Each structure stands twice: as C-alpha cells, then as structure tokens.
Structure 1
C-alpha cells in the first residue's frame, strides 16, 4: 500500500524541538553523503553494488561508535538509505529523467524523514493537530486540511518561512471516469502565462514580488556579496551571524515568491482539469530552452545577459511543474492530458494550416496569415493549433470548440515542418 497523495502543513516546534530538528537535519545530510560515498567507492574499487539492506548493518555499527549518528532516530537513518536506493533506481531507469545521485551541500534544505509506522497523529481541535515523532515527542502543526488517508511516511523540513511537516498518505482514490467536457489547448508563454484556446483573454500571473520586495531583495543580495567578500578576507571564509541573517532574509523572500507562484499554478491547473475533457499542451524541453548562451572562451556567446533574463522568465512560469500537476489532476477529474510536438505552433495558421514565419513578423503579439488573411492574437492562435494537434493524437471522439476546415502541411523532418514552395511573385 503505497502513498498516492501528499499533505503538507505548517509546523510550530518549540525552541528545544527546533534545535533538535536542526541538528538532525545536518546529520541526515551528512549520512546521505557518507552512504553515497561508500557506494561509489565500492563500485569504483571492487565493482560491488551496495544496497540499503547491507548498509543498514554498517549504520547500526556507526550508531554505536559515533554519538552524532546515534543521536539521529534509527528509523530516519534507515529511511535515508531507502531514499538512496530510490535515487539509484531512478538513475538506472531509462524512462526517468533523474541523473546520478548528488551530494548535498550545507545550504541544502534541512529535512528529516520517518516511516509511517513510526509516527502517530492526533487531532486537538478543528484547526490544530499533533504528530508524535521518535525521540522528539509531540510536534504541533496547523491542520489546514484533513489527511484523508493512511499515513505511509512523514517528513519534517525547514524552508525560508519556518518548519513544515509533510505526510505521504494512501487514499485509495481511483482515476475518475471521463467527464465528457470540451477540449482545449493551452499555450504556456512568458508575456502571457497561459492562453487557453476556449477563452478570449490570456491568464496572467501577478508579479511574484511587489516593487518594494524587489528593491529589498536587491539590497539584500548586494549586502550578501559584500559580507561574503569580507568573510573571505578577514574570517577565512567562515560565515558570521550577520551573513547568516542576511541569507535567511533572502530565503524568506524567495519562499514568499515561490508560494505565490505555486498558488497561481495550482489554481490554473485545477481549473483546466475540472472544466475540460482533453487538455493539449506542448511537449517542451525546458532544459534545452533555458540553456545558457555563455559559450566558451574561444567561442563566446552573444547577448548572454538577455538570454539569462529570458531563462529566468521561462522558469518563473514553471512549465514543467504545470505539466506535472496536470498529469495527476487530469486523472482526478476525468480529463486527458496530451503533449504534442511544439514545432512551429506559433508559425502555423489555425485556420488554413499554413506554416510561414512571415505570418508573425518580429515575434509580435499579432498573427496574420500570409495566405488566408486570418488574424488573431499570436498566443491564442498557437493554443488553437495545440488543441487541433491534441485532438488528432487523443482521438476524434472528444468534443471540440472549433469546427474550421483545415489544410494540413505534412512534416518532412523531426524538427521542421516545411510548406510547399511559394509561387514566384509577379514582377
């Protein structure tokens, strides 16, 4: 019985619990690095594969010899080794995008994991509850929503705005039946966060930070740079209390920005999954889209700073996270998600199917077909084209909101769709 849903709550530890959890978080990070180093060493030196079952024996011996490891609950250490097993399984899985397991730096987010059998939750009232953790006792958290299932694991983590406790729960929820609602295509962009083909206006994400917060973040970043320079010159690179305070303030603003971005993403994806039976999106390669233009020393890149700003704008709209949320929400609400090839969606006419870069001169907001004269917002035209491609991939039995006859141009290559040669212009 595996966890099929997650629940995250704001935790409020006491001062003593805060110190213990902080100490355990650093110990868990160090244990991960040591276990990973042991596996890498055995493979490089002896070609032996080590798994958590064998490493648990070394963990038991280390707990008896080293007090800082013995202070960590045994269940947490075993959970870390299981997570390392899963990281290796994801790396070996050719269909999984994960890379080789990496070591965790000191600035990595502190987290302490427990199996579901080691924790107990009790509700205090309508808004508050407690979870009992091994060697820590009862930890209070804000009960913002019901658990709704059997607890399979628990993780206590610290972010920029405090501690949180997350539960992996088994709800036993089955995929919903098809809802029979209209289809749509969604074009995720930078200027327009999302344009839905069934709507006449784009979905715009509000600025994740206000003007004053942006100024405050800029001041803090400059202060951090000065303090790091001072630490390297006069303190052998060691961080002082003032520098740590500055880093904490930056993390708080970053967390606030991430929460606002996440809130918009959840509202967008939930509305799409609830109100549509088929959702078409572009199969984007975000890693390739946000690659740096820096180049090399011999062949330096061009417009590096402009490309860096574009990369930040693309990542701020989180296209990968939107796709991840649509994948599981589509199953929950009875809709289907179809990822279509993204090639030339912004250059293809949604009315006649002509592929012509001149239809969108200068990558502006207006799309004007050079053959049929069809005009529309460029992002909406792309969303309609995405819907048409999704309907062909997802099946013709899905109801569509548009019934325009189309003349398609066949693709002649993996990355390019070419049109028929244009007739010569009369002189």
Structure 2
C-alpha cells in the first residue's frame, strides 16, 4: 500500500546564486514540459473524440526517448532532472483526474505562461534532509546538491514529496509528509455559523462583533503599487513599439518589484485566513458556512463588443474584494482542520440567509434596507446587522443538516397547509447529536 502525504510543510529556502540560476532554468523547463505534455494529451483526445487519453505511464517512456535523443534542440529536457520531469507528468495526471471528477471543482488543465509561478517538483524518494542546528536545515536536490532552508518547524513525519517554488520574495521549499493523521473524536463543543463577506470578513453567529481582516497593504504600499503598475504599462507600450515586444531589464525590475508587493500581500492574507480557520475549527463542534459558487460569483461583467456589460468597474472592484477574502481557501482549510480538531464542516444552501429573520423566521427581501448592511424585519420589526443575521441563519441550517433535535419554547404559526411560517426553532448548544 502506497503511503501518501497527509500534511504539508513549507519553509523559506536560501539557494546560492549558482543554485538560484539552475533552479530558475529548471522551473522554465518544467513549465515547457507541462505545456508539451498537455498539448500531446489534448491532441490524442481530439483524435479519439475524447474517448481515449494518454497518461503519464506512456509519456514517461516518450520522455526517456527524448532524453536519449542526441538532437541539441532537446537539451533543455536533458538539463531538467528526470525525476522532476516524471513528477510533472504525474501532476498532470492529477489535474486530468480532478477535471473528470464530477464532485471536484477543478476546471480543464490550462497551459502555463511565462508569468506563472516557477515550480520544480521532486518525489520524496529522491530527496533527503538533514538538520544543521536549531534553526537551519538542508535538503538534497538531485543534480544540484544541498540547499539551506529555515527550519521554522519540525517536519514531523515521513517525507513523501518535495517542491521548490519561487515567488516575489524568493524561494520556498514545500514538503509533503505522512504523519498518520486520523479523524479526531468529536470535541463536544457548541457549533456556529459563519458568514464570509467582503465588507465584513467574517461574522460568527456566537459573537456580537465581526472579525475584520487587517488591510493586506499599507497606504504606502498601495501608493507604491499604483506607481509601479503605471510604470509597467508605459514600459510595455514602449517595448511593443520599439523593441518588438522584448522586455527590457528595467521592465523586468518593475515586474519583480510588483511581484514582491503582491507576495507580501498574499502572505498577510494567508496569515489571517489560517488564524481564523484554526480558531473556528478548534473552538466549535461544527462550523456552518454558505456553499458558495465562487467561480460564478467572480465572473466578469465586460460582456462582448456587440453587447458590452454594465457596471464593469464596480463588478471588477467587487471581484477583487471577493478574491482578497479568499472564501475558497477558507473552505479548503476548514475541510482538513475540522477533522484534526474534532469538529465538522457543514456547507448549507446560501439562498436568502441575510433575508431571513432570526426572531420570527420569515424570509422577505424587503427586510434588507437598501444596499447597506442593515436588516429590519418587515414582519416583527427585529433589527440587526445583516451579516450577523445571515450567520445565525447559517447556524440554524447547519444544525438541521446535522440531525439536531430541535425544541421550541414558543408556539409556531402555521399556514392553511400546516406548514410552519413563524418562529425559527432554536436548539440548545449541546443538543447536536450528529
């Protein structure tokens, strides 16, 4: 039985200048191999009308033939370590399997452009690590030697995979390790509902105030980013007019400075997301969230040339706010953290959560006053923040999903068919039996 990685570890790596040059070259070679293998698979699929595909087992044989070919045009394939090339093809297998899985949200595998993140994967059997002291360690990479990395935490398991990635701030090494995690027993704590938003990052139903994500960029960084973006646009225009589209060194420096700011922004965003999801999973018996179709929510409003869209700039700003709050990443983290801390993740239908009154249970669009964050029930007069109202309704739907025994202390109004139209039934925090 193959032992697979069940946890990830990421560290900051510090290669030497020579190693940095080789890793950058390998990253572009791995990207070219991905594109070549993807085009080959799509060609086979078109030839057989999508009935038959080619997988990594066949493509690894072709990769070996190319590496043995004396033609100088394939020197780049010989330069890339064979194990890294094989790992690229296996990852392409995973991308196609996720695309074919109806229960997975992945789309069709795409070609990688030059601006894509530089990444070189290796199987865990071909690398090894050694600890230098309390704060530093090294990883051995085939054809490259030992690379130092900052040992910010212990590996804590059996090494199964290794990936070197470069962003705007430098190189990082990510390890997939097997630690033998098992599902933890239910922690017995009360559950909650969480409403993720744009203006309000997260509102937990058991709290009276929202959790706001700190600005991911300072005022100075926002101003500097705007200057750099404008400079980049001017330099690209000049390159297209006078250099045949070739990027100058100044343009590359501008792009590198923008990447550094974006990478710093992504780190801050990820730090808040990890702290939020860890706290939710650790201190609650279940976490109810909205089952949001994020890909549909961030579709562009530009339209076509014949039928241009309306409110394009406003929709673009909304999309940027949605991406900045990373609802998909929060859900991904909650998926595995709830298993670690003995809680459950319960996605609920998102329709009308902020229009349902937590007091009388009536859902009415008129209860949302204007486009603001105020909720005022037109039936019972209850007022509250719209996001807190939504979080309470999310918790109620999550309880019903989990098989909660619901008890009510008040009578429930019913219509002519005997259906409840009034009070939303409440349950005690310890009444959940799922």
TMscore range, shorter length: over 0.9
Ranges in structure 1 where 5+ consecutive residues have no aligned partner: 411-417, 421-427
Q: Deviations over 1:91-137 (max 9, x none)?
A: 11111121222111111111111101000000001110000010010
Is 2:96 the partner of 1:96? Answer: no
Aligned to 1:180: 188
Aligned to 1:260: 268
Corresponding residue to 2:59 among 55, 58, 73 = 55
Q: How does 1:28-427 map to 2 (within 5 A)?
A: 28-45=30-47, 48-65=52-69, 66-396=74-404
**Gap change, CA 1:60 and 1:373, over 3 Å in 2:** same
Structure 1 residue 409: Cα displacement: 9.1
Structure 1 residue 419: Cα displacement: 7.6
Aligned to 1:6: 8
CA distance in 2, matches of 1:404, 1:363: 34
Q: SS of the counterpart of 2:397?
A: helix
CA distance in 2, matches of 1:128, 1:218: 37
Structure 1 residue 150: Cα displacement: 0.5
Q: Deviations over 1:244-274 (max 9, x none)?
A: 1000000000001110000000000000001
**Gap change, CA 1:52 and 1:233, over 3 Å in 2:** same
**Gap change, CA 1:405 and 1:382, over 3 Å in 2:** farther
Does the Cα contact within 8 Å between 1:283 and 1:342 map onto a contact in 2? yes
Q: SS of the counterpart of 1:207?
A: coil
- Between 208-217 and 71-80, report the one with greater CA deviation: 71-80
Does the Cα contact within 8 Å between 1:352 and 1:406 map onto a contact in 2? no
Q: Deviations over 1:222-252 (max 9, x none)?
A: 0000000000011000111110100000000
RMSD: 1.9
Structure 1 residue 314: Cα displacement: 1.4
Does the Cα contact within 8 Å between 1:24 and 1:112 map onto a contact in 2? yes
Q: Deviations over 1:307-338 (max 9, x none)?
A: 11111111111111111111110000000111
Aligned to 1:423: none
Does the Cα contact within 8 Å between 1:355 and 1:419 map onto a contact in 2? no
Q: Deviations over 1:116-167 (max 9, x none)?
A: 1000000001110000010010010000011111011000010110000000
Structure 1 residue 210: Cα displacement: 0.4
Q: SS of the counterpart of 1:376?
A: strand
Does the Cα contact within 8 Å between 1:352 and 1:405 map onto a contact in 2? no
CA distance in 1, matches of 2:88, 2:41: 14
**Gap change, CA 1:57 and 1:363, over 3 Å in 2:** same
Q: SS of the counterpart of 2:154?
A: coil
Q: SS of the counterpart of 1:327?
A: helix
Ranges in structure 2 where 5+ consecutive residues have no aligned partner: 423-434
**Gap change, CA 1:301 and 1:337, over 3 Å in 2:** same
Structure 1 residue 405: Cα displacement: 5.1
- Between 80-89 and 204-213, report the one with greater CA deviation: 80-89
Does the Cα contact within 8 Å between 2:14 and 2:148 map onto a contact in 1? yes
Structure 1 residue 288: Cα displacement: 1.6
**Gap change, CA 1:406 and 1:147, over 3 Å in 2:** farther
Give the alignment's TM-score, normalised by structure 1: 0.92
Does the Cα contact within 8 Å between 1:351 and 1:404 map onto a contact in 2? no
Aligned to 1:19: 21
CA distance in 2, matches of 1:126, 1:332: 27
CA distance in 1, matches of 2:22, 2:14: 13
CA distance in 2, matches of 1:396, 1:45: 53
Structure 1 residue 42: Cα displacement: 2.5
CA distance in 2, matches of 1:196, 1:406: 28
Aligned to 1:424: none
